[in-house]
Structure 1
Amino acid sequence: MSMELGITLVPAASDTPSSSWVGLAKLAEERGLALVVVETSGDPKSRAQGTAVTAPQDPSQVPQPVGVQPPTAGLDLWTAVAWLAAKTHRISIGAAVCNAPRPSDRDGVVPYTSMVAKAAESLDALAPGRVLTAADAWVTAPYDASDEELSALAADGKPVVVPVESEQGVERLAALIHAGSASSRPRRSLAERSRRSPGIDYDSIPDSLSDEAVEPGDSGYRAVASNYLRGGAPGLVLRPRTADEVAHALAFARRHTHLPLGIRSAGHGVSGRSTNRGGLVVDVGQMNEVSVMDYTKRLVRIGPGATWKQVSAALHAHGWALGSGDYGGVGVGGLATAGGIGLLGRAHGLTIDHLRAVEMVLADGSHVRASATQHPELFWAVRGAGANFGVGTAFEFQVDEVGQVGYAQLGLVTTDIAQALTDFGRIASEAPRDTTVFFITGRPRQGHWNIQLLGVVDDPDPDVILERLTPFAQIGMLTQQEVVVTPYAGVMGSAADVGPEGHHGFGEPVSRSAFLPKLTADFARDAADLLGTGQVYFFELRAMGGAIADVPTDEMAFPHRASAFQVTAMGADHDDLNQVWDPLRHHFDGLYLSFETDSRPERLHDAFPPAVLERLREVKRRYDPDNLFRDNFNIDPNPHAHLG
């Protein structure tokens, strides 16, 4: 027989649990039973006369599920559960909890729903994934149920618990489960499995991934559920460590196409698509190796899970650097397939401009290496729209020789944000290409705007650095300045490391993105009106031009080479942000995928001009015809098939 069994502990007339409770619970755990259920009143012998499926007519004759112990019983449920959880290590502890307020024998209503929820949350923190509070999660058998009766009660797949009062009762149940056990894979506890999401075949997780897979009931779940900006509750997080394991993860995903699918490198993407609710996440964060392939050609191989902080530190040892956004905590995989508009951009171009090849696992599980000579159309598409075609498992970059740079963080205040924007646009566009500066502001405070400038001057000479930065310091009243000469690794190294507790994003990020061909006085006035509404709490301009504009527009799926700036605005509500952002759209020409959360269909056409989009659809039809990778700016291979 194959079933899960557990025991029920029921005190007779004692105000505290018998010392034998702990012994029975420990023995049940040692013998591999699934569950120990705690009841707060009743006599286990009386259960022998009852039945697991028919309740007595008089509710007073059976123990009532409780959250806060009613005064008629002497044992506090939560205390008993916490005590048993502390004395055991693995076994699930069951306690039927009533969440609905009900009259008490005293005055008022017992319990408060919020109190019960908080108590359950506290117990889960103390014994992660082990406490089960839903009474319908198990079936209670009579005290003297036969083997055949236990088997019949277990037919619906729920564990069966039997009242016991001796070690012999535990040993009898243990003998039954060991006789029917056939699987060698460790099985999660009942409490852990009770939190699984519907629609996921957890039993078919490939063996290569099972030991690293994280489910909602696992103790490490909170560390992988959310990302940097978005709160999530995925039904399963698969964490492959090799390209073959990525293929196994995608095979599992192909059997679950009814669920959202997120691909995560470091979980820092503003779009937030690397987590979801109830779906699957393939997390390649452990694939983070950085190695040198060819010293002469400065070719390096980088795993998708590496952060740019790790990459910059590894490259610094050789006097090299690779431009990579403005924050070292971002993962390689997402940025290296979208663009990479960074603080070395005007001097050295986008991150994708340095990509020479990418190893990928496609939707069908096959492995490819895409480069200028191997799968050239895929290589073209990956550089700008890569999330649509596969999972990158290794990136080969040709990096630059970069020594010491000037890194500036300037704080300014202005009462005329339109003029400050106009001045910044002119100065940033006219600056030598060794200078890249980003402009950040937000809501006004009593008629004043705080501005932060982040900039890198790719020159080690302090005099040159000051010459480049001085014009920027004059666009407002300078309130703070920090200018240092540092390796590029020092710029990326300021990012905080994400510890074992993971990210703790919450809610949904709300962000809009655009490319701005030129920062005109009209745009500055409209942007000032936008900021004056208070609907935008973060507003950024990233200077482009220079080396970014040197690359032909058709060389890769990033056609916005002529733009002077990339603009980002973040707010709290999609509709409110649309209302103030949409009037500015006539200033823009395209958008940057990494910073856009607007899911309206027309955004895809903003990101890619018609000819580029059709070319991308052709690549999609070849490499992902069933649209497995659809959850991040989806390029549908057959957009007209859903019409009519």
Structure 2
Amino acid sequence: MSEVIKNKQTVQEINDSKIELFKAQLRGEIVQVADPEYNNARKVYNGMINKHPGMIVYCVDVADVMACVNFGRENNLLVAIRGGGHNGGGLGICDDGLVIDLSGLKFVRVDMATNTVRVGGGNLWGEVDHATHPFGLAVPAGIISSTGVGGLTLGGGVGHLSRKYGLTIDNLLEADMVLADGSFVTVNNHQNEDLYWAIRGGGGNFGVITSFKFQAHPVKTVIGGPTLWPIEKTEEIMSWYHDFILNAPDDLNGFIATMVIPGPPFPEVLHNKMFCGIVWCYTGDSSDFDALFQEVRDKNPVFEHVGEMPYPAIQTLFDGLFPPNLQWYWRADFFNDFSEEVRAAHLKYGSSIPTPLSQMHLYPISGAASRVGKEETPWAYRDAKYAGVIVGVSPDPEDAPKITQWCKDYWEALHPYSSGGAYSNFMMEEGQERVQASYKHNYDRLSEIKKTYDPNNLFRVNQNIKPKT
């Protein structure tokens, strides 16, 4: 059996009568190339992505998703699944094929008896936070509220609550999904257990998730915000931070960054200057915070804006800086330590950031996230200490070459000191070798499951796991 059935035709090659028959099966809207809303409909979060699908279907229920999957498979179309559209590599869209858009599958239902939350496959994390916050609950997610629930979850889910409550996948209890053959299944730890294992980090390779069930946790108010040091102090701060965060209680999370302060709401004296920064989030007893945080203050940050806030506020802290349609280029790796060479590279490239929104982040994988076995989920790097990402960002398309080059140069300087693979949600389209490196010892098991449920690789517009041959 071949790994992949090549897309034998584009949407434009399908005769009109077939398309009309397909439309009759749907409640949702179809957008095609000639439609006036087409150019807006094909946009994704990353403005650097410029793909032209043959058809975009806005699904409103599971039946629409099943019809789309069947139509794509029966017509040998390239199929992409779009949730929030945030994927850096634009893997929620494709050229010439069918885009299954899930933005109409939205609901959030909180069960106070079990502290669980059911979420639609098209929801954004800000919508989940809005629904759970009045109940004093939160689900571990990322750091930008406009991120889609589906994409972030299926790749792993690293964010402010990772040290306290683990990755998003560690809190995924169940999912409903449409498989490549058009059938519908529920997966959890006692139904379709192999699929349940695979979707907790294996990406969108195994089907279209139409709903999720998460374990939520008691999080109402946090203490959080940034501390900044001059970029010249990067090596000193990184060395100190490594020891501090590894030994900090799980209640304290902080990701370290090299960045430029682009403007408001920061004070004018900081604008357009480069810094080594840490963005903190503390979920513990507020009366214990000052004593815990004194060691940070002893490092004399030039700016501190850390205070008590509702959890949704820290989740939206950066939303205003990163609206849709900016130019983005991403590179990523996992790291175990900050050697002298690593710290020197961060100082060098953090001192030459090309645009005010470009930056580097390192997210800690210690605490609860590190206490899950490296084979319990496909997320193979539980023993890594950090998930690193470098992003070149600009509103100006003319900046695309320079932000891309800076990002690549920064990554190439650090990669020899990395753990070998990357967090899949931080990757562009980088080839099969990088995908395999990012799943390590779990790739073969994922490939076997892929062979069982998607032997012809219908779902391949993703960080693709090829079916076992």
- Count of equivalent residues: 433
Pair 1:458-2:283 in alignment? yes
Instruction: Specify whether residues 228 and 452 from structure 1 end up closer, same or farther in structure 2 by C-alpha distance, changes over 3 A only.
Output: farther
Q: What letter corresponds to residue 431 of structure 2 in structure 1?
A: R
* Partner in structure 1 of residue 12 of structure 2: 198
Q: Larger relative CO (CA 8 A, sep 6+): 1 or 2?
A: 2
Give the match's secondary structure for 1:455: strand
Give the match's secondary structure for 1:559: coil
Distance in 2 separating the partners of 1:455 and 1:216: 45
Report deviation, 1:427. 2.3
Report deviation, 1:340. 0.7
Pair 1:491-2:310 in alignment? no
* Partner in structure 2 of residue 541 of structure 1: 362
Within-5 A mapping of 1:64-213: 198-201=12-15, 203=17, 204=19, 205-209=22-26, 212-213=29-30
Give the match's secondary structure for 1:608: helix
Report deviation, 1:311. 0.7
Instruction: Specify whether residues 244 and 447 from structure 1 end up closer, same or farther in structure 2 by C-alpha distance, changes over 3 A only.
Output: closer
Within-5 A mapping of 1:377-388: 377-388=194-205
Give the match's secondary structure for 1:471: helix
* Partner in structure 1 of residue 325 of structure 2: 505
Give the match's secondary structure for 1:254: helix
- What TM-score, normalized by structure 2, do the two folds share? 0.84
Pair 1:478-2:302 in alignment? yes
Coordinate RMSD, CA, aligned: 2.8
- Counterpart of 2:430 (choices 592, 599, 603) is 599
Pair 1:400-2:217 in alignment? yes
Give the match's secondary structure for 1:346: helix
* Partner in structure 1 of residue 379 of structure 2: 558
Report deviation, 1:220. 2.8
Give the match's secondary structure for 1:453: strand
* Partner in structure 2 of residue 521 of structure 1: 340
Report deviation, 1:385. 0.8
Distance in 2 separating the partners of 1:390 and 1:472: 45
Q: What letter corresponds to residue 630 of structure 1 in structure 2?
A: R
User: Contact 1:304 / 1:395 at 8 angstroms: preserved in 2?
Assistant: yes
Q: Deviations over 1:466-524 (max 9, x none)?
A: 33444345556423x32232232232355759xxxxx85266x4211111122333321
Q: Deviations over 1:418-450 (max 9, x none)?
A: 223222323222221111111222479999632
* Partner in structure 1 of residue 85 of structure 2: 267
* Partner in structure 2 of residue 249 of structure 1: 68
Report deviation, 1:200. 5.0
* Partner in structure 2 of residue 612 of structure 1: 442
Instruction: Specify whether residues 405 and 477 from structure 1 end up closer, same or farther in structure 2 by C-alpha distance, changes over 3 A only.
Output: closer
- Counterpart of 2:411 (choices 575, 581, 595) is 581
Report deviation, 1:408. 1.4
Instruction: Specify whether residues 621 and 449 from structure 1 end up closer, same or farther in structure 2 by C-alpha distance, changes over 3 A only.
Output: same
State the structure with more CA Rg.
1
Instruction: Specify whether residues 525 and 280 from structure 1 end up closer, same or farther in structure 2 by C-alpha distance, changes over 3 A only.
Output: same
Distance in 2 separating the partners of 1:211 and 1:301: 22
Instruction: Specify whether residues 258 and 393 from structure 1 end up closer, same or farther in structure 2 by C-alpha distance, changes over 3 A only.
Output: closer
Distance in 2 separating the partners of 1:274 and 1:202: 25
Distance in 2 separating the partners of 1:340 and 1:211: 29
Distance in 2 separating the partners of 1:257 and 1:575: 36
Instruction: Specify whether residues 208 and 410 from structure 1 end up closer, same or farther in structure 2 by C-alpha distance, changes over 3 A only.
Output: farther
Distance in 1 separating the partners of 2:405 and 2:453: 35
Report deviation, 1:268. 1.6
* Partner in structure 1 of residue 104 of structure 2: 286
Distance in 1 separating the partners of 2:337 and 2:174: 33
User: Contact 1:200 / 1:235 at 8 angstroms: preserved in 2?
Assistant: no
Q: Deviations over 1:35-78 (max 9, x none)?
A: xxxxxxxxxxxxxxxxxxxxxxxxxxxxxxxxxxxxxxxxxxxx
Within-5 A mapping of 1:432-471: 432-442=249-259, 449-461=274-286, 463-471=287-295
- Counterpart of 2:169 (choices 330, 333, 352) is 352
Give the match's secondary structure for 2:29: coil
User: Contact 2:365 / 2:384 at 8 angstroms: preserved in 1?
Assistant: yes
Distance in 2 separating the partners of 1:474 and 1:257: 62
Report deviation, 1:532. 4.9
Unpaired runs of 5+ in structure 2? Answer: 1-9, 262-269, 393-399
Instruction: Specify whether residues 524 and 488 from structure 1 end up closer, same or farther in structure 2 by C-alpha distance, changes over 3 A only.
Output: same
Give the match's secondary structure for 1:539: strand
* Partner in structure 2 of residue 40 of structure 1: none
Instruction: Specify whether residues 471 and 532 from structure 1 end up closer, same or farther in structure 2 by C-alpha distance, changes over 3 A only.
Output: same
Q: What letter corresponds to residue 242 of structure 1 in structure 2?
A: D
Pair 1:335-2:148 in alignment? no
Q: What letter corresponds to residue 257 of structure 1 in structure 2?
A: N
Give the match's secondary structure for 2:30: coil
Give the match's secondary structure for 1:214: strand
Unpaired runs of 5+ in structure 1? Answer: 1-195, 498-502, 640-644
Distance in 1 separating the partners of 2:176 and 2:27: 24
Which segment drifts farther, 212-221 or 444-453? Answer: 444-453
Within-5 A mapping of 1:214-229: 214-229=31-46
Distance in 2 separating the partners of 1:473 and 1:277: 51
- Counterpart of 2:455 (choices 621, 625, 640) is 625
Distance in 2 separating the partners of 1:227 and 1:470: 42
Instruction: Specify whether residues 341 and 630 from structure 1 end up closer, same or farther in structure 2 by C-alpha distance, changes over 3 A only.
Output: same
Q: What letter corresponds to residue 328 of structure 1 in structure 2?
A: S
Q: What letter corresponds to residue 354 of structure 1 in structure 2?
A: N
User: Contact 2:27 / 2:59 at 8 angstroms: preserved in 1?
Assistant: no
User: Contact 1:339 / 1:384 at 8 angstroms: preserved in 2?
Assistant: yes
Report deviation, 1:605. 2.2
Q: Deviations over 1:142-200 (max 9, x none)?
A: xxxxxxxxxxxxxxxxxxxxxxxxxxxxxxxxxxxxxxxxxxxxxxxxxxxxxx97345
Report deviation, 1:308. 1.1
Which segment drifts farther, 583-592 or 215-224? Answer: 215-224
Q: What letter corresponds to residue 520 of structure 1 in structure 2?
A: S
* Partner in structure 2 of residue 306 of structure 1: 123
Instruction: Specify whether residues 496 and 286 from structure 1 end up closer, same or farther in structure 2 by C-alpha distance, changes over 3 A only.
Output: farther
Instruction: Specify whether residues 586 and 315 from structure 1 end up closer, same or farther in structure 2 by C-alpha distance, changes over 3 A only.
Output: same
- Counterpart of 2:244 (choices 408, 411, 427) is 427
Which segment drifts farther, 613-622 or 267-276? Answer: 267-276
Q: Deviations over 1:363-415 (max 9, x none)?
A: 11000111111111111110001310001001111111223211213343232
Give the match's secondary structure for 1:513: strand
Distance in 2 separating the partners of 1:584 and 1:201: 51
User: Contact 2:231 / 2:347 at 8 angstroms: preserved in 1?
Assistant: no
Give the match's secondary structure for 2:201: helix
Give the match's secondary structure for 1:272: coil
Report deviation, 1:252. 1.8
* Partner in structure 1 of residue 265 of structure 2: none
User: Contact 2:160 / 2:254 at 8 angstroms: preserved in 1?
Assistant: yes
* Partner in structure 2 of residue 85 of structure 1: none
Q: What letter corresponds to residue 198 of structure 1 in structure 2?
A: Q
Give the match's secondary structure for 2:279: strand
Q: What letter corresponds to residue 465 of structure 2 in structure 1?
A: I
Distance in 2 separating the partners of 1:256 and 1:532: 51
Distance in 1 separating the partners of 2:140 and 2:225: 16
Report deviation, 1:576. 6.4
